[in-house]
Amino acid sequence: MRVDLARDLVETAEGQRAEEILRRCVHCGFCNATCPTYNLLGDELDGPRGRIYLIKGMFESAEVDEDARFHLDRCLTCRNCETTCPSGVEYGELLELGRNYIHDRAPVSTLLERILLWIVPYYRRLRFMVRFGRMVRWFAPKPLKRMLQPIRASHIACGSDASVTLLQGCAQRALTPEVNQHIADLLRARDVNVKVIASERCCGGLHLHRGRHEQALHHMSSYVKELYDETTETYLSSASGCGVTVKDYGRLLGTTEANELADRTLDVSEYLHGFTFERHPNIQRVALHIPCTLQHGQRIQGLIERILEKTGYELVPVRDGHLCCGSAGSYSLLQAELSEQLLDRKLVCLEESAPDVIATANVGCQLHLNSGSSTRVVHWATLLR
């Protein structure tokens, strides 16, 4: 694709990177076929090719385009289009550049978005709000109610002398702490020394996806400072939304420590596949929803399936497994209507073979699916015994 960058942007790193990515696009439109919002709305501007044109237009005119803001806000950042693209267009990074461009020059934030960005990345604030919200959840709006399903409290002891650090994730730590507790128990039973860092903060993913580049980098730098320790060989993430961000720290921060932390971070499936487990006796048939951040973001495909099958579970067929469930970080709250339509479609696919449970690999997807499903939704690692 031919690109004529605006004069102001020719010498900038963001302009040059955007041009490099844009040039790879041959506007074939293959990506539209797997885009959930294009499938739902049928509008070219709500598909990846249309959004790419909108971003191109902004970088060529050096003007913020309100159409671009509207349609980029409706993008899930699921990166399904990246998996489909035959030309290797890094759509996720281009979207990040487009959103940053809009936010830097003409910031607009809804009250809900400001509240989310003020609460979610801060564990103590989030924990307080979750506890308070659970007491009054019947009065909360529907999208918020689904985030507030009661869960069992748990605590992971902080150990020293650890070979593995378990990343807690701010949302997961507040909303489903039993997942990491279970993973820590599994690992300790297999003689792995597991550590958690009590002062762990937000990885910066939420700000990154909302185009708040400066604040995202600030969170990321603090995260590296707090967590990186050259003697720790492996960092494990069980929330794929956090894992995909931390694995990208090398590109985003570019420091030696950030590179090291990114290189040493694994999704928990990449670590657990070396062990054997027992099946839960009351559960046999599992419908698996692999989050976009795992299959498209981290490009991990087939690994959880192999672990569960090796453990003795039967994986039921799931149509359109590549499509997003509509959770997508803050999307379920900020684009509630579209998110709910995607959820309904996803649940039809997950429930049509009547599984015993639905399993997934990210806290956001778990809560989102659970809010509309009559089948129990769990983190896949909690099926391992």
* One-letter amino acid for residue 336 of the chain: A
Question: Is residue 182 involved in binding ligand SF4 (CB under 6 A)?
Answer: no
Angle at 328 (CA atoms; ends 39, 211), nearest 5 degrees:
105
CA–CA separation, 375 and 91 (whole Å): 34
Question: Is residue 91 involved in binding ligand SF4 (CB under 6 A)?
Answer: yes
Residue in 8, 16, 28, 226 binding ligand SF4, rule: CB under 6 A: 28
Contact region with ligand SF4 (CB under 6 A), list: 33-41, 116-124, 130-138, 173-181: 33-41
Segments of 210-364 assigned E as strands? 234-237, 265-267, 285-288, 314-315, 357-360
CA–CA separation, 50 and 193 (whole Å): 49
Cβ neighbors of 81 (< 8 A, separation 6 or more) are 31, 32, 34, 35, 47, 48, 89, 91
> Rounded to the nearest whole angstrom, what is the least distance from the CB of residue 11 to ligand SF4 in the complex?
26
Question: Is residue 25 involved in binding ligand SF4 (CB under 6 A)?
Answer: yes
CA–CA separation, 50 and 305 (whole Å): 34
223 and 254 in contact (C-beta within 8 Å)?
no
Question: Is residue 85 involved in binding ligand SF4 (CB under 6 A)?
Answer: yes
Q: Measured from the CB atom, is 246 or 338 closer to ligand SF4?
A: 338
Question: Is residue 37 involved in binding ligand SF4 (CB under 6 A)?
Answer: yes
> Rounded to the nearest whole angstrom, what is the least distance from the CB of residue 328 to ligand SF4 in the complex?
8
Residue in 22, 55, 58, 89 binding ligand SF4, rule: CB under 6 A: 89
> Rounded to the nearest whole angstrom, what is the least distance from the CB of residue 27 to ligand SF4 in the complex?
5
Residue in 9, 45, 78, 361 binding ligand SF4, rule: CB under 6 A: 78
CA–CA separation, 344 and 352 (whole Å): 12
Cβ neighbors of 348 (< 8 A, separation 6 or more) are none
Question: Is residue 209 involved in binding ligand SF4 (CB under 6 A)?
Answer: no
Question: Is residue 26 involved in binding ligand SF4 (CB under 6 A)?
Answer: yes
Residue in 21, 45, 81, 377 binding ligand SF4, rule: CB under 6 A: 81
Contact region with ligand SF4 (CB under 6 A), list: 26-34, 109-117, 127-135, 335-343: 26-34
Residue in 5, 54, 75, 162 binding ligand SF4, rule: CB under 6 A: 75
User: What is the Cβ-side half-sphere exposure of residue 279, based on CA atoms within 13 angstroms?
Assistant: 17
